[in-house]
Amino acid sequence: MSLKNLSAKTKIPKILKNKLNDSKVDHIYKKFEKLLDVEDNFIVAVSGGPDSLALAFLSKIYSIKNKLKVKYYIIDHKLRAESTAEAKHVKKILKKLHINAEILSWRGTKPKNNIQSSARAKRLEFLFSRCKKFKITNILLGHHQEDLFENFFIRILRGSGLKGLISFGKKTKIGNITVLRPLINQKKEDLIVVSKKVFGFYVTDPTNDEDKFLRVRVRKLLKGLKNDGLSQKKFNDTIIYLKRSNDVIDYYVNKNLQSNTFFSHNEKQLVINDKFFDQPYEIVFRSLSDSINLVGKNYYAPRGKKIDRVIKDIQKNASFRCTLGNCIIQKVNQTVIISKEH
């Protein structure tokens, strides 16, 4: 469909259409459109950085073209003195291009440790609450190609298992919410081009250069690895091989859950029989993690060490009770019951 016909049918505002007329921006949009491929309404997180601003523009065009409703949110974590002023400025810049955003502010005491991970968790908490409020099941985040590299190596350094290493992709399911990363195949330098051409502006976060953050140190490490031959193709090949192995494990996890668990809707409990724990350890580990997430309705699974401890206690003790992941887990004879903690 030509741009002229597209604009006639969907009534793209002139200011947006003019931006899309740029050949570089149009090329990036076509890659974005092909990867996103979603037919339901969605929420977009905007920080003001070049990746999220590019996402705001590209998703706006996509929503108009596909006649979808989209809500934009700027998360003001209030971790820097200038963050509130930046958020208001980003909102003003977006409005000029017919993108109406709401600022969500993180108030109260801020953590002194794990600041970046806590900020990411708070962002998701805000976005999930809006999904629930407006009955939307898709969230778009602005992660790009370099983020994919960084996240993989960060998870290696943190001792993640196979599932953790490959879980950061174009689509992640958390409960009934789908987190989409339609820029995951785009280079950051291209997203900077979009931000400059479309908005003539983007926020630069000074913490991106602070070595006290693990992500910054990994980013600098990756620059050296790229000089030694690390490429997008090699990285993608590795991810594909790991995903194939993960698919096999997922098959047996689903089989274990179907054969050895029963969900009582009346009691709102998941009942697990003793054969559940007769599988290879990784199958048991993931099956229990998925069970806790199902009952507890969590955004993230509990930490691996805690699940390890629960499995050992269940296998060692005739009776057992603990709380984990918003759930009460108790063993009675040979049966384990997981119920939501109130």
The verdict on 192 and 254 lying in the same domain is no
Q: With respect to residue 36, please indicate whether it lies within any of the assigned structural domains.
A: yes
* Bridge partners, residue 332, by sequence: 335
**Model pLDDT, residue 7:** 44
Phi and psi angles of residue 262, each rounded to the nearest 5 degrees, phi first: -145, 130
Long-range contacts of range 298-307, CB-CB < 8 Å, 24 or more positions apart? 298/175, 298/325, 298/326, 299/121, 299/124, 299/125, 299/128, 299/174, 299/175, 300/121, 300/174, 301/325, 304/161
The verdict on 221 and 155 lying in the same domain is yes
The verdict on 275 and 148 lying in the same domain is no
The verdict on 303 and 220 lying in the same domain is no
**Strand arrangement, sheet containing 42-46:** 101-105, 70-76, 42-46, 138-140, 177-180, 171-174
Q: What is the pTM of this model?
A: 0.78
**Model pLDDT, residue 231:** 81
- When the pLDDT of each residue in the chain is averaged and rounded to a whole number, the result is 88
The verdict on 63 and 127 lying in the same domain is yes
Contact between 148 and 168 (Cβ < 8 Å): yes
Q: With respect to residue 236, please indicate whether it lies within any of the assigned structural domains.
A: no
> How many Å apart are CA 321 and CA 342, to the nearest integer?
15
Q: With respect to residue 238, please indicate whether it lies within any of the assigned structural domains.
A: no
> How many Å apart are CA 323 and CA 327, to the nearest integer?
5
The verdict on 283 and 154 lying in the same domain is no
Contact between 110 and 117 (Cβ < 8 Å): no
The verdict on 47 and 126 lying in the same domain is yes
19-31, pLDDT tens digit by residue?
Answer: 999 999 999 999 9
Strands 261-264 and 177-180 turn out to be unpaired
**Model pLDDT, residue 149:** 85
- Residue 5 predicted with pLDDT over 70: no
**DSSP letters along 108-132, please?**
SPPPSSSHHHHHHHHHHHHHHHHHH
> How many Å apart are CA 216 and CA 150, to the nearest integer?
9
192-244, pLDDT tens digit by residue?
Answer: 999 999 999 888 766 666 677 787 888 888 878 878 777 878 888 888 899 99
The verdict on 205 and 122 lying in the same domain is yes
Domain-ending residue, one of 181, 196, 230? 230
Q: With respect to residue 284, please indicate whether it lies within any of the assigned structural domains.
A: yes
33-78, pLDDT tens digit by residue?
Answer: 999 988 899 999 998 999 999 999 999 999 999 999 999 999 998 8
The verdict on 48 and 155 lying in the same domain is yes
Q: With respect to residue 60, please indicate whether it lies within any of the assigned structural domains.
A: yes
Q: Tokens at residue 170, please?
A: 């174009």
* Bridge partners, residue 269, by sequence: 264, 339
Q: With respect to residue 239, please indicate whether it lies within any of the assigned structural domains.
A: no
Domain-ending residue, one of 230, 258, 279? 230
The verdict on 330 and 207 lying in the same domain is no
Q: Which CATH number is 137's domain given?
A: 3.40.50.620
The domain of 225 spans 3-230
The verdict on 129 and 223 lying in the same domain is yes
The verdict on 41 and 107 lying in the same domain is yes
**DSSP letters along 210-222, please?**
-TTSHHHHHHHHH
Q: Which CATH number is 259's domain given?
A: 3.30.465
